[in-house]
């Protein structure tokens, strides 16, 4: 099963140590235009990824073809809600979207200790909910799934 996660940190310890084993992914797909263009950042990131996991740094527009090539055992990382919505707009089927981390900043509403959303984030998440995509608010797999839907409305 392909697992989708929004985390503005992209690849970091929680993803490597927690989520990759939890979803048993053989492919790590970082769907982020800036990262796809940054060879140095990719090389640094690859140092943290286990060698048995194939890592793909792709532009959002290349995500459908990448997922088709990977099959069903991928963990897809988005930096923000806008990118997740764009993937959904492109026809990527998502049953669930894990909201792992969205840093607080000016103009953002704190929903959970690890999730702060802007008006745009809220609109993107509402659109995904309207498409029957379940929102899973967890930093790590061992946490209980938190429901913050009512705070988005």
Concatenated DSSP letters for 61-96? GGHHHHHHHHTT-EEEEESSHHHHHHHHHTT---SE
148 in a domain, yes or no? Answer: no
150 in a domain, yes or no? Answer: no
pLDDT at 151: 56
d(CA 112, CA 121): 14
pLDDT at 141: 93
Contact status, residue 121 vs residue 135, Cβ threshold 8 Å? no
Task: Give the domain CATH number at 118.
Answer: 3.40.35.10
| Residue among 30, 130, 36 nearest 80 (CA) | 30
pLDDT at 108: 95
Q: Phi, psi (5° rounding) for residue 83?
A: -65, -40
pLDDT at 83: 97
What is the pTM (predicted TM-score) of this model?
0.94
DSSP calls for 51-63: TTSEEEEE-GGGH
pLDDT at 112: 87
d(CA 132, CA 38): 34
pLDDT at 150: 56
CA distances from 29 to 58, 68, 125 (A): 7, 12, 21
- Give 3-state DSSP helix, strand, coil % of the chain, rounded to 5: 40, 25, 35
Q: How many domains does the chain have?
A: 1
In a structure prediction context, what are the per-residue pLDDT tens digits for the chain, which is 153 residues long?
899 999 999 999 999 999 999 999 999 999 999 999 999 999 999 999 999 999 999 999 999 999 999 988 999 999 999 999 999 999 999 999 999 999 999 999 998 889 999 999 999 999 999 999 999 999 999 988 776 565 554
Domain around 120: 3-142
């Amino acid at each position: 099963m392909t697992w989708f996660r929004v985390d503005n940190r992209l690849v970091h310890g929680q993803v490597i140590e927690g989520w990759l084993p939890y979803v048993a992914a053989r492919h790590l797909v970082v769907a982020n235009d800036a990262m796809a263009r940054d060879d140095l950042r990719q090389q640094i990131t690859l140092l943290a990824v286990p060698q048995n996991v194939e890592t793909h740094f792709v532009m959002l527009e290349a995500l459908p073809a990448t997922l088709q090539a990977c099959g069903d055992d991928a963990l897809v990382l988005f930096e923000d809600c806008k990118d997740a919505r764009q993937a959904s707009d492109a026809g990527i089927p998502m049953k669930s979207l894990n909201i792992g981390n969205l840093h607080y900043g000016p103009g953002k509403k704190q929903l959970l200790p690890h999730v702060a959303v802007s008006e745009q984030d809220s609109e993107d998440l509402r659109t995904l909910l309207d498409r029957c995509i379940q929102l899973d608010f967890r930093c790590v797999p061992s946490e209980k799934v938190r429901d913050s839907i009512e705070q988005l409305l």
